[in-house]
Amino acid sequence: MIVLAYILLILAGAFLLYMTFRTNDRRYIYLAVAFYVIFPVVLTMQLPIDISPESQQLYDAIAALPDSSAVMLTFDYYASTLAETEPMSRAVLHHMFKKNCRVVTMTTIPLGGPSISERVTRDLAEEYGKEYGVDYVNLGYKANYVAVLKGMGSSIKAIYPADNSGTPLDEIPLMAEIKNYDDLDFICVIADNGVVEYWMSIVNAQYGIKIGSGVTAVMAPKIYAYVGSGQMTGLLGGMKGAADYEKLVGKPDAAIKGMAAQSLVHLFIIFAVIVGNVIYIVERRRGKGRV
Amino acid sequence: MSFVEHLQIWIAAFFMLSLFSFLYKDNPFYKLAEHIFAGLSAGYYIGLVWHAVILQTMINPMIQDGKWWLFIPGLLGVMMFSRFFKGFHWISRYSLAFVMGNTAGIFLLSELHGKVIPQVQATMRSVDPSQGFGGLLLSVIIITGVISTLLYFYFSKEHKGLLGGVAKLGIWFIMVSFGAHFGYTVMARISLLIGQVQFLIFDWGGSIQQIFF
Amino acid sequence: MRTTVPVIIAFLSGFVMILAFFFNPEKSFIGRLEPEVLAWVTIVGGFTLLLGVVSIVRVNFTAVKRRKENWPYKLATLISIFAMAIPAILPSSWSPLLGTGTGSIYDWLFNYLDAPMMSTMFAMLAFYIASAAFRAFRARNAEATLLLVTATLVMLWRVPMGEAFLKSIHGDLPQYINTYIMGGANLAVQRGIIIGAAMGAAAMSLRIMLGIERTYMGK
C-alpha cells in the first residue's frame, strides 16, 4: 500500500513536470508543490528526526544552566517567518520554563515583534503556571537595535524604562535583580535577520555573555562561522533545527509535523532539477539551446 | 470553538487564500488583500511608536522622573519630518547625523573587536594536530577557503598568475557555500508554505468540520 | 551650518561611543553618559519609523483625492492604516479594546489579518523557488555544477527522508556533509565574507565620523 502511494506520488510529480515542460506554464509546478505539501500534512505523516550537533549544543548549554538562572530570549523575527521561528521560540521557552529559569524576553522587530512575544510567552507561562513579573517579563520593542543592544550592557532600564505593557521596570520584581547583561546567564536569540550578528559582535564580544541562537534556514549557513569560532553556543537552523529542539524537550509540535512535507517537497525539487538538467543536456546535444 | 473564534479563523483564511490566488493570476481579491496588508502594517508602526517610544521612553520619564532633557531627542525626531518640506529638508540632517554618528562609533569598534579579531583568531586556531586526519583536513579546508575567498574579493590587482589561481579556487569555495545557501533557502521557503498549509488544514479545516459536519 | 554642524554632531556622537568602550559604565561620567545617549538614539529611531508611514499616507491620499487608477484599493490602504492606528493610540483605560495589549483591536488585527497575510506573502516564494529550480538551475559549467551538487546534497541532508537516503549510501555521509561542507567550505567562505565586510563597515564608520562620507546627507 505504502509502495503504491509512493509510486503514485512520483508519477503525479513526473506528470506535472511533463506538463510544465510541454505547456511552458509554471502553474503546473505550483500545483505539484501544493500537492506535496498538502498530502503529508493531511495524512499527519511523521518521520524520525536525527538531532544535529549544533541543536544538541544549544540544548546542552541551556540544560547546563543552574535552575532559576536568569536568561534572555529574543523574538527578533517578523510574522513572515513564523513557521520556522515560532516553533523554535516555543521549544526553547518550554526548556527554560521546565528548568524554572527566570526569563526576560524582548524584540528588535518593529512589525509584530511585541505582539508575537507577548502571545507566545503568555501562552506557555499559563501552561507552566508562571507569574508575570516574577518568573518572566516581556520588555517589548525599542527602536534602533544597535543602540538597544549596546545600551542594555550598561542599563536595561535606561533603554526600557517600562515593559511591553507600559509597567515601569521599577515596579517589576524580576527586573530589580536584572540590571544589565552581567545579571544574565544566557541569551538565546531567535532571529530571521542580521541582528543575530550584532548580538555576537556587540553583546557576546563586549560583555562576554554566552549566546545561542535559532535562525531561519536562509541565515543558518552564515551563522556556522560564529559557531565555528566559538562565539555562538549552539544553533537551530530553520524548521529542522526547530524539530530537533522539539524532540529534545519532548514537545513534538508544528516543526516535527512539518518535516514529512518538507522531505517530500525537497525530493520533488531535486527530481525537478535532475529532469531540468537532463532536458538541458539532451537539447544542447541536439543543438537547440531551447532551455 | 466560539463564534468569534470561527470568525477570526475564517477571516484569516479568506485573506490568505486571496493572496494565494495570485499564483493563478492577478485579481481584485489579491489586490484588496495586498493593500489592506500594507495599510495594517503601516498602522501597526503608529501604535508601536506611540506607546513604546513616545510614551514609554520619552513622555513618561519626562513627567514621572523629571528627565526634562528628553525633549531634545524628541525635537531631533520631529526634525526628521522636515524632509517633507522643500527648502527645509536640510534640518533633518542634524537628526540623521546624530543617529549615523552614534551607530558609526559603535560599529567602528564592534566590527573589528567582535567580528574581525575573533574570526581571524578562530581561523588560526583551527590548526590542531591532535584532531587526526579528519581535523587536519578540516583545517586545510578552512584556512584555504578563508584566504582564497578574501583574495577573490581583492580587486586592487588584476586576477592573473598566482593571485588568479587562488581567486579561481576562491570561486569554487564560494560556489560550494552558495550551493549550501540555496539548499537552505529552499528549505526556508518550503517551511513557510508548510506553516500556512497547516493553518488552513488544521485550523480552518477544523472550523469547517465543526460548522458543516 | 547646513553641512558642517551635522558633521560635527556625527563626530561627537560617535566619539562618545568609542570613549565609552574604554570606560567603566558605572564609575565614570562617560560610562554613565553612554546609556543616556543610546536612549536618545532609540527615541530618534522611533520617529524615523513614522517617516515611512507619513509617506505612505501622503502617496495614497493624493491618489484617492485625484481618483487615480486603482484608487479604491488605495482607499482600503488608508482605511486600514487608521483602523489599526486610532484604537491603538487611545488609552486602554477607556476600554480593553483600545491600546496595544492582548485582546485589543490592534492585537486582533495583527494576529488575524496582518500576520497571516505577511506569512502568506513569503510562503508564495516556495512556488517561485521550485519553478526557478526546474527552469533555471542548470549545470552549465564546472562552477555551476559544484553549486548544484552542493545544493542537492544539502537539500537531502536537511530532511529526514533525504538523510535516510544518504545514510543508506554511507552511514557517516550526513555527518561528513555537516563537518566538511557546512562546517568546512561554507564556514570558510562565510568567514572570509564576514572579515571583509566587517573591515569595510569599520572603514565606512570612520569615514562617517570624520565627515568624509556624507551620502546620508544627500551629498
What is the Cα–Cα distance from C79 to C70, expressed in whole angstroms? 15
Of all residues in chain B, what percent carry a pLDDT higher than 90?
84
Does A165 contact C at CB distance below 8 Å? yes
What is the Cα–Cα distance from B102 to C34, expressed in whole angstroms? 10
B-to-C residue pairs, Cβ atoms closer than 8 angstroms: 403
What is the Cα–Cα distance from A193 to A202, expressed in whole angstroms? 16
Of all residues in chain C, what percent carry a pLDDT higher than 90?
83
Nearest-CB residue to A270 (from C36, C45, C155): C155
Q: Is A200 buried (19+), middle (13-18) or exposed (0-12) by CB count in 10 A?
A: buried
Does C124 contact A at CB distance below 8 Å? no
Average pLDDT, chain A: 93
pLDDT at A6: 76
What is the Cα–Cα distance from C72 to C57, expressed in whole angstroms? 14
pLDDT at C219 > cutoff 80: no
| Among the listed residues C110, C58, C62, the one whose alpha carbon sits nearest the alpha carbon of residue C85 | C110
Contact B145 C189 (CB under 8 A): yes
Q: Tell me the chain A residues in contact with residue B196 when contact means C-beta distances shorter than 8 Å.
A: 83
Does C94 contact B at CB distance below 8 Å? no
For residue C1 the three cell numbers come to 551650518
For residue A210 the three cell numbers come to 554566552
Contact B116 C116 (CB under 8 A): no
Nearest-CB residue to A265 (from B61, B177, B190): B190
What is the Cα–Cα distance from A261 to A39, expressed in whole angstroms? 8
Question: Nearest 10 degrees: CA dihedral of A59, A61, A64, A70?
Answer: -100
pLDDT at C73 > cutoff 60: yes
pLDDT at A37 > cutoff 80: yes
What is the Cα–Cα distance from C206 to C212, expressed in whole angstroms? 8
Does C100 contact A at CB distance below 8 Å? yes
Mutate which of B50, B175, B190, B201 to disrupt the A interface (most A C-beta within 10 Å)? B190
- HSE, CB side, 13 Å, CA atoms: give it for residue A55: 24
User: If residue A189 lies in a helix (H) or strand (E), which one and from where to where?
Assistant: strand A186-191
B150 domain-assigned: yes
Nearest-CB residue to A201 (from B24, B49, B111): B111
Q: Tell me the chain C residues in contact with residue B39 when contact means C-beta distances shorter than 8 Å.
A: 56, 76-81, 83-84
Q: Tell me the chain B residues in contact with residue A258 when contact means C-beta distances shorter than 8 Å.
A: 191, 194-195, 198
pLDDT at A288: 58
Contact A257 B106 (CB under 8 A): no
Q: What's the alpha-carbon Rg for chain A, to the nearest Å?
A: 23
Mean pLDDT, rounded, for B121-137: 84
Pairing of strands A235-237, A186-191: unpaired
pLDDT at A286: 86
Does A284 contact C at CB distance below 8 Å? no
In contact, B173 and C188? CB cutoff 8 Å: yes
Contacts of residue B54, defined as CB under 8 A and 6 or more positions apart, other chains included, come to B74, C46
Does B177 contact A at CB distance below 8 Å? yes
Nearest-CB residue to B103 (from A114, A146, A225): A146
Q: What's the alpha-carbon Rg for chain B, to the nearest Å?
A: 27
Contact A30 C186 (CB under 8 A): no
Q: What is the DSSP string of B57-72?
A: IIIHHHHHS--GGGHH
Mutate which of C120, C121, C190 to disrupt the B interface (most B C-beta within 10 Å)? C120
Mutate which of B20, B56, B186 to disrupt the A interface (most A C-beta within 10 Å)? B56
pLDDT at B131: 76
Nearest-CB residue to B194 (from A83, A114, A141): A83
What is the Cα–Cα distance from C149 to C139, expressed in whole angstroms? 9
Does C90 contact B at CB distance below 8 Å? no
Q: What are phi and psi of A138, to 5 degrees?
A: -110, 110
What is the Cα–Cα distance from A193 to A215, expressed in whole angstroms? 8
More confident residue, A136 or C32: A136
Residue type, B47: G
What is the Cα–Cα distance from A174 to A102, expressed in whole angstroms? 8
Contact B109 C21 (CB under 8 A): yes
| Among the listed residues A150, A201, A200, the one whose alpha carbon sits nearest the alpha carbon of residue A180 | A150
CA distances from A243 to A61, A112, A281, C54, C146 (A): 18, 24, 38, 41, 29
Q: Mean pLDDT lowest for which of A42-51, A117-126, A175-184, B164-173? A: A42-51
Residue-wise pLDDT tens digits, A196-243: 999 999 999 999 999 999 999 999 999 999 999 999 999 999 999 999
User: If residue A214 lies in a helix (H) or strand (E), which one and from where to where?
Assistant: strand A211-215
pLDDT at A291: 45
For residue B124 the three cell numbers come to 588560526
Q: What are phi and psi of A70, to 5 degrees?
A: -95, 125
pLDDT at B32 > cutoff 90: yes
Of all residues in chain C, what percent carry a pLDDT higher than 70?
100
Topology of the domain covering A53-251: Rossmann fold (3.40.50)
Q: What is the DSSP string of A216-252?
A: -TTTHHHHHHHHHTTSS--EEEHHHHHHHHHHHTT--
Distance from CA of A96 to the nearest CA of C (A): 23
| Among the listed residues B119, B38, C156, C1, the one whose alpha carbon sits nearest the alpha carbon of residue A270 | C156
Q: Tell me the chain A residues in contact with residue C19 when contact means C-beta distances shorter than 8 Å.
A: none
pLDDT at A2: 67
| DSSP-derived secondary structure letter, A161 | S
Nearest-CB residue to B52 (from A82, A141, A239): A141
Angle at C129 between CA C128 and CA C133, to 5 degrees: 120
pLDDT at C216: 84
Q: Tell me the chain A residues in contact with residue B53 when contact means C-beta distances shorter than 8 Å.
A: 142-143
Residue C93 bridge partners (DSSP): none
Q: Tell me the chain A residues in contact with residue B192 when contact means C-beta distances shorter than 8 Å.
A: 80-81, 83-84
| Among the listed residues C30, B110, C23, B104, the one whose alpha carbon sits nearest the alpha carbon of residue A206 | B110
Mean pLDDT, rounded, for A76-83: 95
Contacts of residue A276, defined as CB under 8 A and 6 or more positions apart, other chains included, come to A291, C133, C134, C135, C137, C138
Contact A258 B195 (CB under 8 A): yes
pLDDT at A3 > cutoff 90: no
Nearest-CB residue to B20 (from C124, C146, C195): C124
Average pLDDT, chain C: 93
pLDDT at C53: 94
Taking a contact as any Cβ pair under 8 Å apart, which residues of chain C between 170 and 209 contact chain A?
174, 178, 182-183, 186-187, 190-191, 193-194, 198
In contact, C182 and A221? CB cutoff 8 Å: yes
Distance from CA of C153 to the nearest CA of B (A): 8
Contact B119 C194 (CB under 8 A): yes
Contacts of residue C37, defined as CB under 8 A and 6 or more positions apart, other chains included, come to B102, C13, C16, C17
Mean pLDDT, rounded, for C154-160: 94
Q: Tell me the chain C residues in contact with residue A291 when contact means C-beta distances shorter than 8 Å.
A: 135, 138
Residue-wise pLDDT tens digits, B64-95: 989 999 999 999 999 999 999 888 989 999 99
Does B106 contact A at CB distance below 8 Å? yes
| Among the listed residues B179, B177, A217, the one whose alpha carbon sits nearest the alpha carbon of residue C133 | B179
Mean pLDDT, rounded, for C115-139: 93
The sign of the dihedral angle between the CA atoms of A158, A164, A170, A173 is negative
What is the Cα–Cα distance from A278 to A266, expressed in whole angstroms? 18
Of all residues in chain A, what percent carry a pLDDT higher than 90?
82
What is the Cα–Cα distance from B53 to A160, expressed in whole angstroms? 10
pLDDT at A285: 87
Report how many domains make up chain B.
1
What is the Cα–Cα distance from B169 to B152, expressed in whole angstroms? 8
Distance from CA of C120 to the nearest CA of A (A): 7
More confident residue, B128 or C145: C145
pLDDT at A1 > cutoff 90: no
pLDDT at C1: 76
Mutate which of A106, A202, A266, A270 to disrupt the B interface (most B C-beta within 10 Å)? A202
What is the Cα–Cα distance from C161 to A48, expressed in whole angstroms? 9
Q: Which long-range contacts (CB under 8 A, 24 or more apart) does B133-141 make?
A: B134/C179, B137/C180, B138/C179, B138/C180, B138/C183, B138/C184, B141/C180, B141/C184, B141/C185, B141/C188
pLDDT at B119: 96
Domain ranges within chain A, ordered by starting residue: 2-46+256-286, 53-251
Distance from CA of C217 to the nearest CA of A (A): 19
What is the Cα–Cα distance from A258 to A246, expressed in whole angstroms? 12
* Domain hosting residue B181, numbered range: 130-213
pLDDT at C77: 97
What is the Cα–Cα distance from A89 to A190, expressed in whole angstroms? 7
Mean pLDDT, rounded, for C107-127: 95
pLDDT at A4: 81
Tell me the ipTM for this assembly. Answer: 0.91
What is the Cα–Cα distance from C183 to A60, expressed in whole angstroms? 19
- Cβ neighbour number for residue A288 with a 10 Å cutoff: 9
Mean pLDDT, rounded, for A165-170: 93
| Residue indicated by cell numbers 550537533 | A53
Mean pLDDT, rounded, for C115-133: 94
Contact C49 A270 (CB under 8 A): no
